[in-house]
Amino acid sequence: MIKPSRLLLAWAGALLLANLIMGSVDALGLLLPPVVQSVAWGMLLALVLLSALDATLVRRQPSPQVRRQVPGSLPLGRWSEVRVDISHTFGRPLSLQVFDHVPDGLSFENQPQTIDLHPGHDSQLGYRLRPLRRGHFQWQHLECLLPSPLGLWQQRRLLALDDTTRVYPDFARLYGARLLAVDNWLSQMGVRQRQRRGQGLEFNQLREFREGDSLRQIDWKATARQRMPITREYQDDRDQQIVFLIDCGRRMRSQDGELAHFDHALNACLLLSYVALRQGDAVGLATFASEQERYLAPVKGAAQLNVLLNAVYDLESSQHPADYAAAAERLLARHKRRALVVLVTNLRDEDDDQLLAAVKRLGRHHRVLIASLRETVLDELRQAPVQTWQQALNYCGTIDYLNARAELHERLTAHGIPVLDARPQELGSQLVTRYLSWKKAGTL
């Protein structure tokens, strides 16, 4: 597609204005020298011929060479940089307007841009990119406005330029934690480590007695041989398995800030996976109420974290209701060994018999923890001042709903099923806090 430039429009406007003036003068009966009309028609003819020639030349011009540099993976909700390298083979400088066609689901800044190209030199421009949802994204085209040699036209060129990237949950900050001490990192994440109430079951080493050691730790035979107090040092039992049972149904589609409950749940599960894998435990996951249910058997090792990321990066919530009984049956059929099963969902006041039966059945073979997300707006409505009739109705409805949820949690707790009720932004740190407290107490 070709369109006139500002220069061509300016010349056309000037000639049109000149002809209007000459027409007005002629209508008033004033005589103009014949040479004026000849010059005006000559300039108009010259502009038409030059425009036709320039349009032909711009169509024959080769397109610039373009290369896009896109990161292979992007964190959800964080700004990243995309670079575009451009060069051309023309013998003259060129001013080019560029617009990259960004896939849906990615927001961007600093587009379109105008860049000056010089013969024999590569030029580079960049724009910012921010993913709004997870998944696989593909670029196909880049658009540029190519000026004609005489500057009278601009041709829109759609350049085929394929690139792909994956958008993962926002997990980049956790990789940086490897450079810090684990305790400091957990403290920065809001994770509270409680005092150890007992000792682990796995023997680590013998060492000299230190102030604060329990007398039960003393190894009397080693003490007699060394003729000084020697104690046994234990470490937490590392041979544990964790399975996340993630609800992908319609309840998890609630929006809290820029992320849905489902994205907050994935971030929390990945955070706990990171901590558990560093503790030497095995981590796996299973989904339910999704279009394509997925299952990963628990595996130890740092490499499992990448496996988990690749398993959930394109996972989406659905419109299906949560069927807890079916999810429990499938997990029991797939996983026989005892594990900590973390059921991540959004409990409602109508959940009762079916949920209780499914969780009790799981609890016969596994340790079960229900992690329930609570909408932030509920806390905001509960704390908001009440001044109008509508605000009073909102407040009473919120309190009634929260009381019904609390009763459900109490019923589950009465049957020995622990429930973690947390706002989406706090779910990750609270899950890690509960896991570490159980780990140190030896109750996993």
Residue 303 has which token pair?
Answer: 């490499």
Residue 251: DSSP 8-state: G
CATH number of 1-168: 2.60.40.10
When mean pLDDT is compared across 33-42, 94-103, 173-182, 372-381, the lowest value belongs to 173-182
pLDDT, residue 63, reads 86
What is d(CA 370, CA 343) in angstroms, rounded to the nearest whole number? 5
- Which has the closest alpha carbon to 170: 270, 304, 244, 245? 270
pLDDT of 421 above 80 = yes
- Identity of the highest mean pLDDT range in 167-181, 205-219, 300-314, 339-353: 300-314
Q: Are 42 and 32 in contact (CB under 8 A)?
A: no
Strand order in the sheet with 282-288: 295-299, 282-288, 241-247, 340-345, 367-373, 419-422
* Whole-number average pLDDT of the chain: 84
Structure tokens at 407: 């009763």
Dist CA 300 CA 286 (whole Å): 16
CB burial class (10 A; 0-12, 13-18, 19+) of residue 327? buried
pLDDT at 178: 42
Strands (E), 50-134: 65-69, 73-75, 80-87, 94-100, 106-109, 113-117, 123-131
Q: CA 438, CA 279: separation in Å to the nearest integer?
A: 13
Residue 199 scores a pLDDT above 90: no
Domain ranges in the chain? 1-168, 187-192+237-441
**Using CA atoms in the order 248, 135, 241, 413, what is the torsion angle rounded to 10 degrees?**
-30
Q: Which of 25-34, 119-128, 223-232 has the lowest mean pLDDT?
A: 25-34
β-pairing, 295-299 vs 282-288, is: antiparallel
pLDDT digits 0-9 by tens, 237-274: 556 899 999 999 988 888 877 788 898 899 889 989 98
Gap between the Cα atoms of 391 and 377, Å rounded: 14
108 has pLDDT over 90: yes
The strand pairing partners of 121, in sequence order, are none
Q: What pLDDT is attached to residue 180? A: 44
C-alpha closest to that of 106 among 65, 157, 71: 71
Pairing of strands 73-75, 153-168: parallel
- 279 within 8 A of 236, measured Cβ to Cβ: yes
- CA–CA dist 140, 135 (Å, integer): 16
Q: Read off the pLDDT of residues 179-190 as tens digits, 9 standing for 90 and up.
A: 344 455 555 555
Q: Does position 57 have pLDDT exceeding 90, yes or no?
A: no
Architecture in CATH of 187-192+237-441: 3-Layer(aba) Sandwich (3.40)
Please report the pLDDT score of residue 196 as a whole number.
44
Out of 152-161, 304-313, 382-391, pick the least confident. Answer: 382-391
User: Given this model, what pLDDT does residue 212 score?
Assistant: 74
Cβ atoms of 269 and 305 within 8 Å: the answer is no
In the numeric block, the tokens 């030896």 are attached to 442
pLDDT reading at 98 higher than 50: yes
Beta carbons within 10 angstroms of residue 151's beta carbon: 14
User: What's the whole-model pTM score?
Assistant: 0.70
